[in-house]
């Protein structure tokens, strides 16, 4: 597997292990997303990666009917969502399990699991969200 580095490496490594890890400032307590190595509010470099439940609500969504680059492994149509993770306000992009093609509703409760998206020869960890 490729080496994962950068400020968001704990996020990706967490997904590989089946966990959602999100960064919080050890100085002021703010949740930080996108991941950074230094808090923009208080300047602290004490970033605390914290395991969070994969639970949240739908912030926005779109159903994709037409193929575009790097989605070759996905069956059409597929639903992409931006989910607001419970109790921290961080919003993450993921895919919604959409077997019945029922339109999602903004604010709908969802739970996630870690899946993968095949891109070229790599499996990219992906949060797959389900209703309820
Ligand atoms: Zn801070």
Q: What is the pLDDT of residues 65-90, one digit of tens each?
A: 999 888 888 999 999 999 999 999 99
Q: Tell whether 59 and 97 lie within a shared domain.
A: yes
Centre of ligand 1 to C-alpha 109, Å, is 29
How buried is 98 (Cβ within 10 angstroms: 0-12 exposed, 13-18 middle, 19+ buried)? Answer: buried
Q: Tell whether 61 and 120 lie within a shared domain.
A: yes
Q: Tell whether 47 and 59 lie within a shared domain.
A: no
Q: 56 or 120: whose pLDDT is higher?
A: 56
Centre of ligand 1 to C-alpha 92, Å, is 20
Kindly tell me if the per-residue pLDDT of 4 is higher than 90: no
Final residue before a domain boundary, out of 52, 74, 95: 52
Q: Tell whether 61 and 80 lie within a shared domain.
A: yes
Centre of ligand 1 to C-alpha 88, Å, is 14
Which domain covers residue 20, as residue numbers? 1-52
Task: Calculate the CA dihedral of residues 35, 37, 42, 47 and round it to 10 degrees.
Answer: 80
Q: Tell whether 43 and 100 lie within a shared domain.
A: no
Q: Tell whether 35 and 70 lie within a shared domain.
A: no
Residue 129 phi/psi, 5° resolution? -95, 145
pTM over 0.85: yes
pLDDT at 5: 84
Six-digit token string for 35: 């991941």
Query: Alpha-carbon distance 112 to 59, whole Å?
Result: 14
Q: Tell whether 72 and 16 lie within a shared domain.
A: no
Secondary element (H or E) of residue 76: none
Contact indicator for 38, 55 with CB cutoff of 8 Å:
no
Query: Alpha-carbon distance 129 to 59, whole Å?
Result: 12
């Amino acid at each position: 597997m490729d080496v994962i580095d950068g400020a968001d490496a704990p996020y990706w490594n967490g997904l590989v292990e089946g966990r959602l890890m999100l960064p919080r400032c050890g100085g002021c307590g703010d949740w930080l997303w996108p991941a950074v190595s230094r808090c923009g509010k208080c300047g602290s470099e004490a970033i605390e990666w914290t395991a969070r439940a994969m639970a949240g609500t739908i912030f926005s969504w779109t159903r994709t009917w037409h193929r575009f680059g790097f989605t070759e492994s996905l069956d059409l149509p597929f639903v992409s969502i931006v989910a607001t993770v419970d109790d921290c306000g961080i919003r993450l992009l993921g895919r919604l399990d959409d077997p019945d093609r029922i339109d999602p509703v903004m604010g709908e409760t969802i739970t996630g699991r870690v899946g993968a998206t095949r891109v070229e020869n790599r499996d990219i960890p992906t949060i797959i969200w389900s209703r309820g």
